Amino acid sequence: MHADPKGVLTGVHFIDGDHAACEGALAAGCRFVAGYPITPSTEIVERFAHRIPKVGGVFIQMEDELAASIAIQGAVWGGQKVMNVTSGPGLSLMMEHLGYAFITETPCVWIDVQRCGPSTGMPTGPAQHDMMQVKWGSHGDFQIIALCPNSPQECFDFTIRAFNMAETWRVPVFLMMDEVVGHMTERVDIPEASEIEVVERKWTKKKPGEYKVYETTPEDPVPEMVKAGDGYRIHVTGLTHNEKGYPDMTVPNQERMLGRLIGKITQNAHKLVDVREDGVEGADVVVVSYGITSRVAMAAVEQARAKGAKVGSARLVIAWPFPAERMKEIARTAKVFVVPEMNMGQMVQEVERAVAGAAKVVSVPHAGGSVHEVDTILNAIMEAAR
Amino acid sequence: MSDDQQRKGRGTVFVKEEVCKGCSYCIDFCPTHALEFAREFNAKGYHYPVLGRPDDCTGCDNCGLYCPDFAIYGARWKDIDEKKKAK
Amino acid sequence: MSLLMDQSAEELECGMDNPVLPFLRKDRIPHIWCPGCGIGTTVNSFCRALGDSGMDLDKIAIVSGIGCTGRTAGYLNLDSFHTTHGRAIPFATGLKLANPDLKVVVYSGDGDLTAIGGNHFMHAARRNMDIMVVCINNFTYGMTGGQVAPTTPLGPTQTTMPFGNFESSFNLPFLADACGAVYVARWTVYHVRQLAKAMKEGLQKKGFVFIEAMAPCPTLYSRRNRLGDGVDQVKYFKERSTIKNGVDTKDVGLTYQGDIVVGKFVDRDRPTWMDSMNDHFGKVLGDKYETYGAHHG
């Protein structure tokens, strides 16, 4: 279906990534946000608070991130599309509710505008420090989807995509922004509502009595949904549960439930991965990057090519699930992977794991606070190409 | 309870013996002290309540209000008869 | 599949059934609570309140946190949500605001609501969020084995206060009152009729409602402190309780096995969070603002 025109600010805008992400959420149908201020993500909820009264919905500033990250989930079961907006320290507080969203299959979008950690770190300094936290930070086994925009336009586009994926797969979907993408102002084109595809919640057509809250089929591992108040008398719990949603804490049921939940993503990873490639075929060196770093990396790739190096670029538009199969394929021809990141080396470990010794993998870490110097990545490429 | 059975008191209790955990709330807070523990116990090993003094039961359902396990409730004969008729 | 709560032959013959059953998930009984635990009795009272309120059960949702009382949601035949530890109130806040048609009830324990969830409790009361909070106060952490709680009075032994509790406890009605709750009552498991009536009033009241229900934890509080069994605690509630409706909440603090003040302490009106939002935006934004939740009943 198409976006509700009420939330779509059609036109050409000159706005930053935070504002663009908010517009993306409104276009995608998000009508409830429970927020808590944290630099450098606050502008997203500020804009939402300003826009939502005229669109029709609710913004509430909660007392902390713990409250924000579970209030949104209550709102999902009340029938709304929601997002959760934060940065590093707030994200740490929200981790328990990431697991709750996963086990209860509560569709929701999480925006993390990354800043330098650990702890309070550098609140206004950009980083890509949370790439592993979103993948592994909540206890227990779980899966998420993570998109990495590198421009305000993508903050808009990918937020809509994140909402659509959340509804399709019923897992938490992350928008992994960073301070630079969040605060960088560029042109953002917002199309007509009729040009924006929006995935509606997977509402059941079954009647109360026929419906089971977590019933699935072998063909479709994603259950249908209802909302509270519609007469279905559902039960939702963070305990290991059966198809009826009732606690069923037995070893076989734990295996059955978790197997399906994890399998939703792992068995469909090939449909989800998104690697944007440039000159990878025939390249000796392939630069793997994501988020704002991919723009710096592209400048370095172009300069290296001018110097005669055979360099390709593989940009992770979706970091999780990680495109391990594609990396393996690239490793058949490429000799070296160069992985610049605004952290001390996180996704590079995934590249190493996927490549499994078939090619050399070089990390180009950056502690954060600014983006890489182009020369730093260029030097790494030229060194690798020698 | 068949009609020809001799009725005592103004009401009676219905007990789900197997759900009872033997807490004795119903026995201790019965306003007419009509209930007592059964000599027998259920599958879980709990003694459940029985109407030891049926003459004294008023069917007030105080036992039903107190029961933490939804294992007992009381009813007045006149209400039971109405239900029976309605059936 | 036959269930323990199915009608007996005797009940079938008379056309009788336990009056609380329509409000319970029959297929989940027996519940997990210990013999003599008072939580079940409060649920029994809540079932009566649901029936007496005459409200549409499809439009009532129940939200619990973690702990023994946290299991309540799973036994009630309503839309029910068993959330994370301490976060029932913010979940309920989201649920209510997303679907204003619902009456949302938070049903949880003293540790869940006032220790780990204390911050949310204060703020939901301050905002006058339109939810009803039932706090089953058994003075201890039951599910984890009897640790000290913010409600444990001075004196009794708990596993993490092995030499007796030396920490001051909360006076919960005073806390709720000070934070702005519009309805504040305390009853005990002895006061089943009054508790059911308070819950019915709470269901029908708009705004942040707080009902404290004192309940025995025989396994981890009473027996550990040689106070007897569950029923002995309920007898203590009976003997030492005085009903004082409208009394100043600062005077209703509890002491170890001391006198208990019960009653309806606060019943007042002030605008809920959503009413305030709608009123304010209506004034400031005029015609540009469409009242939120207006299409709801």
* Closest residue, chain A, to C286 (C-alpha): A54
Q: Alpha carbon of B59 to those of A263, B39, C50, C113: distances in Å?
A: 56, 23, 22, 37
| Mean pLDDT within A306-310 | 98
Q: What percent of chain A has pLDDT over 70?
A: 100
**Which of B3, B14, B15, B25 best tests the C interface by mutation, with the highest count of C CBs <10 A?**
B25
pLDDT at residue B6, rounded to an integer = 66
CA distance C15 to A344: 72
C-alpha angle with apex C288: A59 to A8, nearest 5 degrees?
A: 65
Helix (H) or strand (E) holding C97: helix C88-98
Average pLDDT, chain A: 98
The verdict on C272 touching A (C-beta cutoff 8 Å) is no
- Which tokens sit at A259? 């197997």
Give, in words, the CATH class of C9-269. alpha beta
Residues 15-74 of B with CB under 8 A from C: 16, 18-19, 21-25, 28-29, 46, 61, 64-70, 73
The pLDDT of residue B1 is above 60: no
Determine the distance in angstroms separating the CA of B55 from the nearest CA of chain C, rounded to an integer.
Answer: 19
pLDDT single digits (tens) A139-151 = 999 999 999 999 9
Of B2, B21, B70, which has the smallest distance from its Cβ to C35's Cβ? B21
* Domain positions in chain C: 9-269
C79, C61 in Cβ contact below 8 A? yes
Q: Could you please report the per-residue DSSP string of C66-95?
A: SSTGGGGGGGBSSEEEE--TT-HHHHHHHH
CA distance C45 to C202: 13
Q: Alpha carbon of C158 to those of C84, C116, C137, C234, C237: distances in Å?
A: 24, 18, 15, 20, 20
* Closest residue, chain B, to C21 (C-alpha): B70
Determine the distance in angstroms separating the CA of A243 from the nearest CA of chain C, rounded to an integer.
Answer: 14
| Mean pLDDT within A307-326 | 98
pTM for the full model?
0.97
The pLDDT of residue A65 is above 90: yes
Helix (H) or strand (E) holding A360: strand A360-364
Domains present along chain A, CATH in parentheses:
5-195 (3.40.50.970), 276-385 (3.40.50.920)
Determine the distance in angstroms separating the CA of B76 from the nearest CA of chain C, rounded to an integer.
Answer: 11
Query: Under an 8 A CB cutoff, do C48 and B22 touch?
Result: no
The verdict on C97 touching A (C-beta cutoff 8 Å) is yes
The pLDDT of residue C46 is above 60: yes
Of B2, B68, B75, which has the smallest distance from its Cβ to C39's Cβ? B68
The verdict on B14 touching C (C-beta cutoff 8 Å) is yes
C-alpha A180: how far from its chain's center?
17
pLDDT single digits (tens) C212-268 = 999 999 999 999 999 999 999 999 999 999 999 999 999 999 999 999 999 999 999
Inter-axis angle of helices A88-104 and A65-77, nearest 10: 30
pLDDT at residue C295, rounded to an integer = 56
